[in-house]
Amino acid sequence: MSTNKIKHIGIFTSGGDSPGMNAALYSIAKSAKVKGIKISGFRKGYEGLIDGDFLTLKSHDLQKLVHLGGTILKTARSKRFMELEGRKKAFQTLKANKIDALIAIGGDGTFKGLLAFSEICDIPFIGIPGTIDNDLAGTDYTLGFDSAVNTAIENIDKIRDTAESHNRVFIVEVMGRDSGYIGIHSGLTVGADAILIPESGKDLIYLLEKIKNYESEDAFLVVVSEGDEIGAELVASKIKEMNPNVDLRITKLGHVQRGGNPSALDRMLGIRMGVAAVEEILKGNTNKMVGFLNNQLKLTPFNKVVKQHQIKDELNRLLELFSK
């Protein structure tokens, strides 16, 4: 489609919500308005596309909501969109409402969905990386990661207060389905004694080495990523085997990490990514995710936005150093 024919863009949020999604919605609506483009927001991710459930978005309304966590469009994981039948229905919705392009805010699953959709629908698709896990290739930071880490450290700091008071071992589980980014960032910045993440093979060895000599003279904080193969309970039993006298508690931070007002960094990321998404559609790009690498805009084809199962070298070195 010729880009000067783009008059109406559809947007939706999909997969797990993340703080900063509303800032991105505002930014898309604002930059579209300046360019004279209409914006429709589909509710509940792909479900709204299938059911034709949408509303016209106005930047004036959205600017009051930038500070809110979650997503005002709601989000979902859609089984129906995994089937061709569902995607055909979504295509009918777009055709019937004369939507010329789509912007999706979500993770790699959402972008896989758009790739499948592009087989039957030839309008441009652009993605914005929205997940607290920060595990996507093509961007240094995904929307929501910074806020989630801030929430994690705020809570772990509180746990430290009680842990220090009782000289307890605390195992705190943080989110990250397959990724240790929240774990390593929060673990390092709270001064954890041990950090266990799926990307490291040596972390448990270091932990057991340390706990062997621990004499309950202080708190001992362990941060474990939910995606770590060993898991909080097994870590607890290994610690007990090594040092049976420790007084140990487990806290799982869970979904609290997904909520709350977005940090300044996530709001700014949402603003920058929203503008970039509209501009890249107008330049004729499709099936690509906008991201920032080394603070420079970077477009990554959806088929290259795979989950990252490695952490950066520098982080690895920090992990190694602080584990000893």
Ligand X SMILES: Nc1ncnc2c1ncn2[C@@H]1O[C@H](COP(=O)(O)OP(=O)(O)O)[C@@H](O)[C@H]1O
Ligand Y SMILES: O=P(O)(O)OC[C@H]1O[C@](O)(COP(=O)(O)O)[C@@H](O)[C@@H]1O
- Known catalytic residues are 133
Known binding residue 183? Answer is no
Residue 280 one-letter amino acid:
E
The burial of 51, by beta-carbon neighbours within 10 Å (0-12 exposed, 13-18 middle, 19 or more buried), is given as: middle
Q: How far is the CB of 229 from ligand X (least distance, A)?
A: 20
Known binding residue 87? Answer is no
Q: How far is the CB of 292 from ligand Y (least distance, A)?
A: 18
Write the DSSP symbol of residue 18. -
CB atoms within 10 A of CB 134: 25
Known binding residue 60? Answer is no
Which one, 77 or 240, has the nearer CB to ligand X? 77
Q: Which does 110 bind (CB under 5 to 8 A by kind): ligand Y, ligand X, none?
A: ligand X
Q: How far is the CB of 138 from ligand X (least distance, A)?
A: 14
Q: Of all helices (H) and strands (E), which one includes residue 314?
A: helix 313-323
Site string for ligand X, 73-92 (x = CB under 6 A): ----xx--xx----------
Distance CA 144, CA 306 (A): 18
Which positions lie near ligand Y, rule CB under 6 A?
A: 15-16, 107, 131-133, 175-177, 226, 258
Whether 138 and 48 have beta carbons less than 8 Å apart is answered as no
Known binding residue 78? Answer is yes
What tokens were used for 307?
């989950």
Binds ligand X by CB under 6 A, chosen from 10, 113, 187, 227: 113
Coil vs helix vs strand at 16? coil
Known binding residue 168? Answer is yes
Q: How far is the CB of 14 from ligand Y (least distance, A)?
A: 9
Contacts for 11 with CB less than 8 Å, ≥ 6 apart: 25, 28, 39, 40, 41, 42, 57, 73, 102, 103, 104, 105
The burial of 81, by beta-carbon neighbours within 10 Å (0-12 exposed, 13-18 middle, 19 or more buried), is given as: buried
Residue 187 touches ligand X, criterion: CB under 6 A: no
C-alpha closest to that of 201 among 43, 48, 309: 309
Q: How far is the CB of 69 from ligand Y (least distance, A)?
A: 13
Q: Which stretch binds ligand X (CB under 6 A): 3-11, 14-22, 193-201, 236-244?
A: 14-22
- Annotated binding-site ranges: 16, 77-78, 107-110, 131-133, 160, 168, 175-177, 191-193, 226, 249, 255-258
Interaction site with ligand X (CB under 6 A) = 14-16, 46, 77-78, 81-82, 106-110, 112-113, 116, 131
Please enumerate, by residue number, every residue annotated as part of a binding site for substrate. Answer: 131-133, 168, 175-177, 226, 249, 255-258
Residues within the annotated binding site for ADP? 160, 191-193
